[in-house]
């Protein structure tokens, strides 16, 4: 039986392409004090993925949090080979965006489905930030791909109501 796949579409935050195993959290993450930049292990006490190594993974997360020092921690992680290979975010913000820019980490957000709900840790994820797409190959081949509403019925989190 072929593995089930899903393609999410959104917008580019930082250019590039990368792929790898997903690590998913529905919590905000801090790279300054919440992740060990020497190892890539999440160290924030009580965090949903405390103890998980995000090095070389596609990090699927709600948003970043913490001080601007986190941007430099991300860059340091890239230089050490302990950074995620891509960011798939629900709500991008300055700290992780700047870290992704200076570290050349592809990043996407504003997807047509909440990636923290449709992607699971262990799924294989291909990020093409330039195209604004995320292709997910589910680890669990029996996982069902949800029907999508027609495009004109999809309201993305970042769509502004300008009326």
Active-site annotation, residues: 67
Pairing of strands 5-9, 86-89: unpaired
Strand order in the sheet with 124-128: 5-9, 133-137, 124-128, 17-25, 58-61, 86-89, 107-109, 11-14
CA 45 to chain centre: 21
Which CA distances in Å does 161 have to 112, 148, 156, 157? 17, 22, 11, 11
């Amino acid at each position: 039986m072929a593995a089930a796949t899903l393609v999410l579409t959104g917008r580019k935050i930082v250019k590039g392409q990368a792929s790898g195993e997903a690590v998913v959290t529905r919590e905000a993450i801090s790279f300054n004090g919440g992740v060990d930049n020497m190892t890539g292990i999440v160290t924030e006490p009580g965090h949903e993925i405390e103890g998980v190594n995000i090095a070389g993974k596609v990090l699927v997360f709600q948003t970043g949090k913490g001080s601007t020092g986190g941007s430099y921690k991300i860059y340091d992680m890239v230089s050490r080979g302990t950074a995620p290979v891509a960011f798939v975010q629900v709500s991008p913000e300055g700290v992780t965006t700047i870290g992704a820019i200076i570290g050349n980490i592809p990043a996407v957000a504003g997807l047509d489905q909440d990636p923290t709900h449709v992607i699971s840790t262990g799924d294989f994820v291909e990020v093409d930030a330039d195209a604004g797409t995320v292709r997910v190959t589910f680890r669990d081949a029996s996982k069902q791909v949800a029907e999508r509403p027609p495009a004109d019925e999809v309201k993305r989190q970042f769509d502004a109501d300008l009326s």
